[in-house]
Every structure is written in C-alpha cells, then in structure tokens.
Amino acid sequence: MFDHRLRPSASFGVRPDGDGGIALVYRGERTFDAESFTVTVDGREGERLFAAAHDRLEDGDAVAIDGVFRRILVEWTEPDEPMHVGTVFLRRVLSFEIDGSALLFAGEGEWPAASLSVTVDGAAVDGFSGTVSNGDAVSLDAATGDAVAVEFVADGESKTVFEGTVHPPFEFDLSYDAAAGEATLTSETDAELDPERLRVISPSGEFTGETTRWAGSHDTVEAGDSVTLDVGEDTELLVVVHEAWDAHVELPVEG
C-alpha cells in the first residue's frame, strides 16, 4: 500500500547534558508521540529512548545518550515502513581544523573544554578553557609535522574526534599555457615538502601527460619549485593535495 504521508519536519542534534554526558535533542515545530521514534546508537538495536522520558515530543526535548557514540540514527516508525529522519555524527559535531600552529573548533554547539583532551605527538598539552564554540581557537606549542589529536570524554568514556598535522599555509600558484596545453604548478608553501606526499587531481577533466606526482622530478619540494603537467582542454580545475597534512589547494585552470 502506498503511504502518502510526507517526511516530518524534524531535526535532531546533540549537546552536553550538564552531567558530563551527551543528550540527543529534538528540534521542530510539530509535536509527536514520543513512542513513534527509535534511536540507534553505533549500530546497536534501536530503542525508544524518547518515549522513556517523554509522552509527547516537543521542540527542545532531550534524552541522555549513554557513553560516547560515533553515529546516531533516528527513525520515525509511525508510517507502515519506518522512515529515517535524522543522523548525527560525533566527528561532524565536534569538528576541528589546523590553522598554522593553532587548533580551531569548527563544530556545532557549545561544549565544556574539560570534555576535550588535546595532545601533540601523544603528549597532553594545555588546550581550550571554559566553554568551546564555533570559531574558538587555541595556540599550540607545536612544529610542522607534529601530530595533533583531540579526544572527547563523556561518562568516563573517550573517543578520538580529530587527528591532524601541524603545517604552514599550504599554497601553490598555477600558470596555464593554453596553446601548449600545459599547466605549471609552483609551490609557495613556506616549508620543505615531501614529494611522495603530494598528488594532483583534476575533478573537472583528465591529464594528457603522465606526471601527476612531484616525486619523479624532486627529492624535496621547496618554495619556488615547479612541475609542468599536460592537461586536457576540458580541465577547469587542478587540486594539489598533501596526503599527510590533510590539506589541499584548488587552482582554476584559466588562460
């Protein structure tokens, strides 16, 4: 039988529960029977967690999540066929970026700094303080190549939510010779780069040459070093990627 009911206007997120744990929160204008939602945490059997705490589900209602999760799925079971209505990934909520030697919180919501443990090359360092929200940053006593990790701690459990490498701004220049069908990439990064870690991809076209890595022509790549690639006529963009730094730069191919 065809079920004509539309997906409900509902969203779900997470926030600190105030007792050192995590709460799953419903957001939406509509009021639901709390019994009609199941919550699945990290692939375990779905539970009607909202129904255990609420009769009706209204905007802002929340329920505690035991421990630290990786992924939460929410299903609406009122239709004949259960309908997926929400997914929460902890790494997306607690998202971080490396900006030079600073660690930047690029995630969602406000979180107690005490729940975030920062390490550099495996050693604990002073991290955030107070409450952490989007845009907050902390300077790290770290050098290029140092590994930075952030663990989230709740209910006595912890999970790694970020891993990255300290690096200077990753910068390249591109000059394009349309007549020759060649693009020359020049490093403007203020550091010596391992050519084995560099690759070039073209989301918008195909290379016509064979050289897609710097390793064939350089032992190390320094600022000012260049490599020339044959590119197809339909190539509109080249992306230089540093595989170890999780960094990339997008370069338009323009005549």
Mean pLDDT of the chain: 89
Architecture of domain 94-165: Sandwich (2.60)
pLDDT at 210: 43
C-alpha to C-alpha distance for 36 and 85, rounded to whole angstroms: 12
Residue type, 69: F
Locate 229 and state its tokens: 């690639």
pLDDT at 155: 86
pLDDT at 220: 93
Q: Which residues contact 2 (CB under 8 A, 6 or more apart)?
A: none
Q: Write out residues in the chain with pLDDT < 50, as ranges.
A: 1-5, 208-211
Architecture of domain 11-89: Sandwich (2.60)
pLDDT at 212: 54
Secondary structure element (H or E) that encloses residue 149, with its range: strand 147-154
The residue written with tokens 């989301």 in the block is: 203
Locate 31 and state its tokens: 């009021």
Q: Sign of dihedral through CA atoms 56, 57, 61, 66?
A: positive
pLDDT at 2: 37
Estimate the share of the chain in helix, then strand, then coil, as percent rounded to the nearest 5. 10, 45, 45
pLDDT at 105: 96
Distances (CA, A) of 244 to 140, 165, 224: 19, 7, 21
pLDDT at 99: 83
Predicted TM-score of the model (pTM): 0.76
Phi, psi of 35 (to 5 degrees): -70, -15
pLDDT at 65: 95
